[in-house]
Amino acid sequence: MSAVVQARPRNVTRFRIRPRPRPTELMLLALVALALLIGGASLGATQRFREAVNEGATLDALDFAPPDPRGLLVYLGALLLVHALFVLAGRRTDQVLLPAAGLLGGIGLLLMQRLPQGLVSQSFFGTELLLGQLQLFWLLIALTILTLLALVVRSDAWLRTYKYTWAAAGIALLLATFVFGSDVNGARLTLSIGPLSGQPSELLKVILVVFLAGYLSENRSLLADESTQIGPIRLPPIPYLAPMVAMVAVALSIVVVQRDLGAALLYFAVFLALLYVATGRLSYVLGGLALFLVGSVVLYNLFGHVQQRVDNWLDPFADPRGVGFQTIQALYAFGRGGLLGVGLGNGLPTIGGRLPIPAVHTDYPLAALGEELGLIGLLAILGLYLVVVQRGLRIAAGARDDFRGLLAAGLALVVGVQAFIIAAGNLKLIPLTGITLPFISYGGSSLLANAVVIGLLLALSDRGPEPPAVPTTRRRRLPGLRRRDA
């Protein structure tokens, strides 16, 4: 027997962990933990105090434990774990996105723990989970997806190359919902597979952005010139415009037929915004807005539920006990909140044992937060969305190439526009369209889709390996070189 020492193959590089501290993220996460713990304490103490007052009992001391301390701690621990994983991975990615999204998710978790727990219940493998626990469960899954995307995605080729496949898959998913889906509140949005059910329109918003970014970055210069002329309107060459318009039109029409008006509005707004980002031409935006006005009038005359929404927006007091009930209750809630709010756990008086706003956990979380945190709190929450959008646009501005830039801008805008649409709907600035408030609303699909957005943004923000350090030793002068003619 000959002892042959197997040499390590040279082309196999050892997987090395190079941790890289992320002090900004850690500092911001500490603030997030502090804020959420204070919020939990405020909520728990208020709830116990109110209970005691209602029962006529007197309290010896205030108990500042959060209503579900274990759930809150699990969430904070998960955030810290994600941070630790980011540090270990050593990628130079954005350090603000995780804390900002984490704080929004935490506020959502507090709200879900505060609402009546029986609002939603679902049993997984025999254990019954209630609203607060379900939201925590989805948040943890969302954080897992976010971490996976942020750590694993290094190349964007799989998004860029298969953009038509992605688009086809997205449309197929929507069609499947249309055919096999189940009706909830008169709209067919939910697709159920076994015990899991989800709303594919949430995921389609991400797919749409990927497709548009890929398409626009490829054909950007062609779309910027105007070779086709129809009357006074100058358009880019039709063959290059058609696939994109077709994709958006298909998505829009399915969504409109499904009565998911919020998603339709979101898709169209993101489409226009990305078109503007790619070509820098205001005329497209103006043309799109004109199309939007025409489309709205047509839809208003075509569909009864659109008319109902608009009429309810113009005058909710026409039917205060029926259609207008939720809208009016939300307005009252904002009014009760005032400047500083009534405090977590103090709002939402039930009417006859029932919540005044039945959809408070999905469509109206902002009304509940507006009542309990007041205008000041609402502005802080809107500020958090602004931070997410700013980070996205900043990542887009520093992106390596057009595809990554458009993708980052689109992902950030999809979150920003969605938050705007639902916030404006809650405040009766525009007709209410039922979409979720990103990161805060209850719901698995919404949380997962937004986790995908943040995960991709984190991956896109990677600034690559560190440049080599500047040599600290002084260079020696080259010996023996002397000008002869001097």
Partner 1 sequence: MDGFVLTLWLVRLLFLLALYAFLFMVARVLLRDLRAASRGPAELGRLVVVAAPRGEPPAGSSFPLDAVTTLGRDVNNTIVVDDPFASSDHAVLTFRGRAWYVEDLESTNGTYVNGVPVERVAPLGFGDELQVGEVRFRVDRGRA
Identified binder of partner 1 from the candidate list 67, 71, 99, 324, rule CB under 8 A = 99
Burial (CB count within 10 angstroms: exposed 0-12, middle 13-18, buried 19+), residue 76: buried
Residue 384 and residue 104 in contact, taking contact as beta carbons nearer than 8 Å: yes
Binding piece for partner 1, criterion CB under 8 A, among 181-189, 317-325, 329-337, 340-348: 340-348
Residue 37 or 285 with smaller CB distance to partner 1: 37
Binding piece for partner 1, criterion CB under 8 A, among 71-79, 187-195, 379-387, 445-453: 379-387
Residue 84 and residue 94 in contact, taking contact as beta carbons nearer than 8 Å: no
How many CB atoms neighbour CB 337 within 10 A?
Answer: 25
Confirm or reject binding of residue 236 to partner 1 (CB under 8 A).
no
Identified binder of partner 1 from the candidate list 170, 181, 377, 455, rule CB under 8 A = 377
Confirm or reject binding of residue 421 to partner 1 (CB under 8 A).
no
Binding piece for partner 1, criterion CB under 8 A, among 42-50, 138-146, 235-243, 351-359: 42-50
Residue 80 and residue 43 in contact, taking contact as beta carbons nearer than 8 Å: no
Q: Please state whether 353 falls in left (phi above 0), alpha (psi between -120 and 50) or beta.
A: left
DSSP sequence for 102-162: HHHHHHHHHHHHHS-GGGSEEEETTEEEEHHHHHHHHHHHHHHHHHHHHHH----HHHHTT
Q: What are the respective helix, strand and coil percentages of the chain, to the nearest 5? A: 65, 5, 30
Confirm or reject binding of residue 42 to partner 1 (CB under 8 A).
yes
Identified binder of partner 1 from the candidate list 96, 187, 285, 424, rule CB under 8 A = 96
Residue 89 or 387 with smaller CB distance to partner 1: 387
Identified binder of partner 1 from the candidate list 98, 100, 151, 189, rule CB under 8 A = 100
Binders of partner 1: how many residues, by CB under 8 A? 52
Identified binder of partner 1 from the candidate list 18, 19, 20, 59, rule CB under 8 A = 59
The interface mask with partner 1, positions 195-234, x = CB under 8 A, is ----------------------x--xx--x----------
User: Which of 356, 290, 289 shows the shortest CA–CA distance to 327?
Assistant: 356
- What single-letter DSSP state applies at residue 354? B
Confirm or reject binding of residue 380 to partner 1 (CB under 8 A).
yes
Residue 12 or 339 with smaller CB distance to partner 1: 339
Strands 196-198 and 228-230: unpaired
For the record, the structure tokens of 33 come out as 């933990």
Confirm or reject binding of residue 34 to partner 1 (CB under 8 A).
yes
Distance CA 444, CA 441 (A): 9
Distance of closest approach, residue 440 Cβ to partner 1, in angstroms: 13
Q: Measured between alpha carbons, how far is residue 428 from residues 4, 91, 168, 314, 330 in Å?
A: 79, 43, 36, 9, 9
Which residues lie near partner 1 (CB under 8 A)?
24, 27-28, 31-32, 34-35, 38-39, 41-42, 45-46, 49, 58-59, 62, 64, 95-96, 99-100, 103, 217, 220-221, 224, 280, 340-341, 343-344, 373-374, 376-377, 380-381, 383-384, 387, 390-391, 394, 398-405
